Amino acid sequence: MSKLNNRQIEVAEVVFPCENLAENLAFFTDTLGFRIESIYPADTPRVAVVAAYGTRLRLEEKTGVAPDTLLLICRRAELEAGAYDELVAPNGTRVKFEATDIPPVIPDLVSSLTVQKIGVQSNWGIGRAGMQYRDLIPDRLGGRYIASHIRIPEGGPVPDYVHHHQILFQLIYCYKGWVRVVYEDQGAPFLMHPGDCVLQPPHIRHQVLECSDAFEVLEIGCPAEHATLVDHDIALPTEQLRPDRDFGGQRFCFHQAVETDWTAWRADGFENCDFGFVGATGNLVSVGLVRTVAGSTLPA
């Protein structure tokens, strides 16, 4: 069967079987606020289509197993005020309410030492947008952090889409190759080269456009499990340029390796650089690099 396209499909409906159409129609319209789109036959209705909140339901008076749960998304403040409780439709479908703006749950840190050898080629898996992922912290430090080694062996356009993350903190460090990316309100698409790093504040819209062959990055985020949300409405780049825009108490920050200032580190024979994320995150995160000084003799 060939894949259907948007021109062939006009609308999608979820079928809700019910024994008594009138009872269920009253529940979905009067209690939940759905609107009747169609109903037939007129003299003895057996089918009614109702729609609301981006969902279209087809209520059919017939025997069958109704969907277990209908989830309605609403504002968190109203949930906390007790404005909504779980309901049960006459056909047995549970109606549950969930907030759209629940902040990410940050688990307590469980410290551990994890060593991942950089040359190991095992445990690669296919992740979002067809990119290959390798987990660098399998225990996730109790669920507090995730660190991923991500690669795209063959370069070219990346099948990515405009998206954003429900996170407290996230960075992308370019390890090999180059990548062209674009971020909301940060101007035209730009290239990241080895040593470059971006701080992605919460919910900033962004997209990976294209990359070189053998492209690799390191991604670190908190919490370990978080939602990636797709934005179908915004187009990047945006018209406005707002480099100081606040995203959940943070601002976008782009560290470029070619502009790095190296200073002596706390141990002899090493030097370090700071990425400037302390100010960008409101003292939440400090990120930098440490390397050996060329020609230095390290203690045994």
The predicted structure's pLDDT at residue 243:
96
Amino acid at 254: F
Q: Which residues of the chain have pLDDT under 70?
A: 1-7, 76-84, 119-122, 298-300
Q: Which residue has the tokens 């959940």?
A: 248
Cα–Cα nearest to 236, from 208, 215, 255, 256: 208
Euclidean distance between the first and the last CA atom of the chain, given in angstroms as a whole number: 67
Instruction: Tell me the Cα Rg of the chain.
Output: 25
Q: State the Cα–Cα distance between residues 217 and 180, nearest whole angstrom.
A: 13
Identify any residues that bridge with 14 across adjacent strands, giving them in sequence order. Answer: 57
Q: State the Cα–Cα distance between residues 89 and 129, nearest whole angstrom.
A: 38
Q: State the Cα–Cα distance between residues 54 and 19, nearest whole angstrom.
A: 25
Q: CB of 178 within 8 A of CB of 217?
A: no
Q: State the Cα–Cα distance between residues 113 and 116, nearest whole angstrom.
A: 10
The predicted structure's pLDDT at residue 80:
60
CATH of domain 124-292: 2.60.120.10
- Beta strand pairing status for 288-292 and 228-230? unpaired
Domain locations along the chain: 14-99, 124-292
Alpha helices in the chain (DSSP H): 21-26, 76-80, 277-280
Show the tokens assigned to 85.
């409780």
- pLDDT per position as a tens digit, 232-255: 999 999 999 999 999 999 999 999
Show the tokens assigned to 214.
């053998």
Q: State the Cα–Cα distance between residues 203 and 164, nearest whole angstrom.
A: 5
Amino acid at 283: N
What CATH number does domain 14-99 carry, 3.30.43.10, 3.10.180.10, 3.30.70.260, 3.40.190.10? 3.10.180.10
The predicted structure's pLDDT at residue 155:
93
